[in-house]
Structure 1
């Protein structure tokens, strides 16, 4: 693969993901056996089935690009990252597994293409709503092929809806936000990759998460950036890095919202 001009076709990628979701996810929604990983998170046979199917399909279509999936071992994932200079697919085959297993309609598939240390292409598919979010670096963000137009980017913070994952935040910060809410209302939907998309399109306006993995942020952060949104870690670093270590996220749809939100968050932990 040589640069942005030779990127895989989004239409091909979307067709592949839609087919896999219809075959390996929708028939098992709310009707699958749960198992628990070493970190306590849930995994189902659907996670493995769709990952295997997509790894096979991606490898057949683009054999020169290896695939890193969430359900691979850390040793496999690290090896793939170390050898990623010529391109690497980064995939979360089923984000929102707990929702999926419980029959809660909020889960998705995420695929991103890493090349030369940057995410060049991202696609996130919500099979229940049939919403496909996508972006190519420097070419904008899209929802079902139409330019993504974020709304409510000028709302003052007090009128914003926030998406916050309190479970993984520093205690001092979580207590501050609960005791003196600087926003209108707060939600937590249980699918990190959809969080990015819903922020990018303006369903919510501000976002905070304490720990996200590589596959949680890869596609979503590009979609948000290409839609005009903003994101950093709590340490002030860019969110995406080629590491298996978790990363915090503070983000917003609009620039003024981001600056106001970040000021409050950082003031609560300083």
Structure 2
């Protein structure tokens, strides 16, 4: 039986090279004018020519180098996502070819490219590229997390009242969002519009927690591994492991220190509202 690729530094470098080459050819030239035409997808998100070009280029390069490994990309149809996940006998590449499409489309330079290698339904390798700032975040399961080859760790945070968090209020239930906005138990909050970068900014200490009511697999597959390898406590909002059950969509609460999960819990009410799981 054919095996998944050996996960080591050579694989990280090869995948990183594929992302850099695709960004240089298909992404950054389209952004040089400060924006790009976009259309609305059936799911409500935006898509540009760059999203599809990036998926074709990266998916093609991965298939050429690792033909035995399955592939799941954001711009595939939902039934294709499910089939890819269920038939990944020798591993599965999970790609977000352009995360932050809304930013990209209007000229905001905050977007990233993310690819993870999943084996038996969990990530063993994660690579996220921020092409604007030339920041490459990487992790191999059990090997730590890195930014441009240098080790990174989460920040020593302290209590919630001193913490800075990434919160996507739009994806939270109305009651939870209103409660958090009204009480503001944290020092400050941000939302940058690119999930894959927000995961990595938690990993390198730029924020202290990350709260999101519902992400797709390609949004968290690589970033959650990078954050976990940097020392973050990574789970759903109600404390369940991300990679158990139906992993195609999960809520997110990732924290630099476990006390932040406990301090945030009273504000979240994870069993209230359909957007929490």
Aligned to 2:51: 47
Q: Counterparts of 1:126 and 1:101 in 2: how far apart (Å)?
A: 16
Q: Counterparts of 1:240 and 1:193 in 2: how far apart (Å)?
A: 17
Q: Counterparts of 1:163 and 1:129 in 2: how far apart (Å)?
A: 19
Residues 128-152 of structure 1 show CA distances to partners (whole Å, capped at 9, x for unaligned) of: 011111110111111111111322x
Q: 2:176 aligns with which of 168, 173, 185?
A: 173
Aligned to 1:81: 85
Distance 1:267 1:13, change over 3 A: closer
Distance 1:267 1:11, change over 3 A: closer
Residues 47 and 101 of structure 2 are in contact (CA less than 8 Å); yes or no, is this contact kept in structure 1? yes
Residues 141 and 147 of structure 1 are in contact (CA less than 8 Å); yes or no, is this contact kept in structure 2? yes
Quick check: 199-208 or 242-251, which moved more? 242-251
RMSD: 2.0
Quick check: 75-84 or 241-250, which moved more? 241-250
Unaligned runs of 5+ residues in structure 1 are none
Residues 157 and 208 of structure 2 are in contact (CA less than 8 Å); yes or no, is this contact kept in structure 1? no
1:201 Cα deviation from its structure 2 partner: 0.9
Aligned to 1:132: 136
Q: Counterparts of 1:12 and 1:68 in 2: how far apart (Å)?
A: 18
1:222 Cα deviation from its structure 2 partner: 0.5
SS of match in other structure, 2:16? helix
Aligned to 1:27: 29
Quick check: 238-247 or 30-39, which moved more? 238-247
Distance 1:216 1:108, change over 3 A: same
Residues 7 and 125 of structure 2 are in contact (CA less than 8 Å); yes or no, is this contact kept in structure 1? no
1:269 Cα deviation from its structure 2 partner: 5.4
Residues 157 and 182 of structure 1 are in contact (CA less than 8 Å); yes or no, is this contact kept in structure 2? yes
Aligned to 1:254: 257
Normalised to the residue count of structure 2, the TM-score between the two structures is 0.91
Residues 229 and 251 of structure 1 are in contact (CA less than 8 Å); yes or no, is this contact kept in structure 2? yes
Residues 202 and 210 of structure 2 are in contact (CA less than 8 Å); yes or no, is this contact kept in structure 1? yes
Q: Counterparts of 1:186 and 1:32 in 2: how far apart (Å)?
A: 28
Distance 1:6 1:97, change over 3 A: closer
Q: Counterparts of 2:19 and 2:189 in 1: how far apart (Å)?
A: 31
Are 1:114 and 2:114 counterparts? Answer: no
SS of match in other structure, 1:154? coil
Q: Counterparts of 1:93 and 1:174 in 2: how far apart (Å)?
A: 29
Are 1:230 and 2:233 counterparts? Answer: yes
Unaligned runs of 5+ residues in structure 2 are none
Residues 214 and 242 of structure 1 are in contact (CA less than 8 Å); yes or no, is this contact kept in structure 2? no
Residues 236 and 252 of structure 2 are in contact (CA less than 8 Å); yes or no, is this contact kept in structure 1? yes
Normalised to the residue count of structure 1, the TM-score between the two structures is 0.93
Residues 59-108 of structure 1 show CA distances to partners (whole Å, capped at 9, x for unaligned) of: 11111112110001112221111101211100000000000011001100
Are 1:62 and 2:80 counterparts? Answer: no
Are 1:11 and 2:18 counterparts? Answer: no
1:263 Cα deviation from its structure 2 partner: 4.5
Residues 230-269 of structure 1 show CA distances to partners (whole Å, capped at 9, x for unaligned) of: 1221233112347464211111112223332335434995
